[in-house]
Structure 1
C-alpha cells in the first residue's frame, strides 16, 4: 500500500511541477497557450513511459490488448451481464484495479474477495457482489488482464 501511495504522490508532484512550468513570470498563460506539446507527451504532461512507470509502481497492469479486453468482457457477461451493464471501460478499469489487489494482498484470498465484492457495484447491486461472484471476477481479471500477477 505504501508503494501505491508513494507512486500516486510522485505522480501528483510531477504533474504539479509540469503545470507550474507552463506559466510565464507575469502570471499570464499566453506562452502556455502557444506552446506545443511534444509528440510523446500526453494531455496530463506525462509521457506514455512515465505513465507506465507510475502504473507499475502502483501495482497496476497496462490496459489489456483488444483480444484480452473482449475476452474479459465476455467472461464477465457470462458470469452476470449486470457486472458490465453496458459500461465496458468501467468494467476494465475495475479489473485493472482488481489486479492491484493481487499485489497488495498476494497471500490473502479472503481480502482479495472482500475488495472485489465492494469494487464491482452496479445499479442493481449497489452493495456489491456476493463472494462466489467476486471469486469468478477475480479469476477473470487474473486470466485476461494480469496473468503474471
Structure 2
C-alpha cells in the first residue's frame, strides 16, 4: 500500500511540475512593465530625472571626467584600476553622501574608503588616501555640494 501511495504522489508531483513549466512561446506573452526595466533600458532622460530626484549630479562632461580620472590616478592608479566608468559612478554616488552629510567629515572619509575599493584593496585604500579621493570627487564631480 505504501508503494502505491508513494508512486501516486510522485506521479502527481511530476504532473504538477510539468504543468507549471509549460509556457507560451508566442509573441503575445506579457512584456515587462516599466517598473521591471533594467538600467540599460532606462533612457538618458529618465536617468537624469532619477539622479536629480536623488540629489545626485549629472555625469561629468568629457573634460571634467578626464581631469577627475587623472586626479584619482595621480593618487594611486589602483583606485581606478582600469575601470573608468566604475570610478565615475563611485564618484557620483559619493556625491550623494556629500549632499546628505556635507559637514560630517568622518562619515564622508569612511564612506569614500568603503566605496573606492579594488581587487588589491578590497577594504579600501585607507583614511589618508580616502581623504585625497574625497577631495578629487568634491572638486570634479560635485563642486557645488
Normalised TM-score (structure 2) = 0.71
1:55 alignment counterpart = 51
Which of 74, 77, 91 lines up with 2:73 in the alignment?
A: 77
Residue-pair matches, total: 113
1:91 alignment counterpart = 87
In structure 1, runs of 5+ residues without a counterpart are 1-26, 33-41
Residues 1-149 of structure 1 correspond to what in structure 2 (within 5 A)?
28-29=28-29, 44=41, 46-149=42-145
Q: Offset at 1:58?
A: 1.1
In structure 2, runs of 5+ residues without a counterpart are 1-26, 32-38
Q: Evaluate the alpha carbon distance shift between residue 66 and residue 101 of structure 1 in structure 2; reply closer, same or farther with a 3 A threshold.
A: same
How many angstroms apart in 2 are the aligned matches of 1:43 and 1:29? 22
Normalised TM-score (structure 1) = 0.69
Larger Rg: 2
Structure 2 SS opposite 1:99:
helix
RMSD between aligned alpha carbons? Answer: 2.2
2:6 alignment counterpart = none
Deviations 1:103-127 (CA, angstroms, capped at 9, x unpaired): 1212101100010100111111011
How many angstroms apart in 2 are the aligned matches of 1:66 and 1:54? 21
Deviations 1:67-91 (CA, angstroms, capped at 9, x unpaired): 0111011000100011011111111
1:8 alignment counterpart = none
